[in-house]
Chain A
Amino acid sequence: MKIETLTDGRRTILKLDGRLDVTWAEHVLNSALELLRGGRHELRMDASGLQYLSSAGIRVLIRIRREVSAVQGSFAIVNPSPFVENALRMSGLGELLECDTPEQDAPDTGTGDVAGAPCSGSAVQKGRGDIDVAGIQVDVHPLGAGAMLRVQATARWRPWTPVQDTDVVNLPFPRPVFGLGIGAAGVDAGDSCSRFGEFAALAGCLSWLPAGGGDTPDYLVEAERFTPSIFAIQGLVAEGAFSHLLRFRPVDKTGLLPLSSLFGQALEVTGADSVAMVCIAEIEGLVGAALSRSPGLMTTADSPGGFPQIRDWMAFCGERVHARHSALLVAFVSRRPDAAVAPYLVPLSSTPGLFAHTHAVVFPFRPLPEGVIDLEPHVRMFFETVEPVDLLHLIEDDRPAVGLGQSTFLRGACWCAPFSAGKGGAL
Chain B
Amino acid sequence: MSLVIGAFTIGLILSLLSMGVWISFRVLRYTDITVDGTITLGASVVAILMVNGWSPWTSILMATLAGAVAGGVTGVLHTRFKIQELLSGILVMTALYSINLRVMGRSNVPLLNVGSIAAPVARLLQGAAGEGDTLMLLGWRVPLQDVAMLLTMLVITAGVAWLIKAFLLTHLGTALRATGENAQMVRAQGINHQRMQVLGLCGANALVGLSGALLAQYQGFADVQMGIGMIVWGLASIIIGEALVGKLTPGLALTGTIMGTLLFRLLIAIALRWGLNPNDLKLVTALFVFAALVLPDRIKMLGGMLKRPGRREC
Indicate yes or no for A touching B, C-beta below 8 A. no
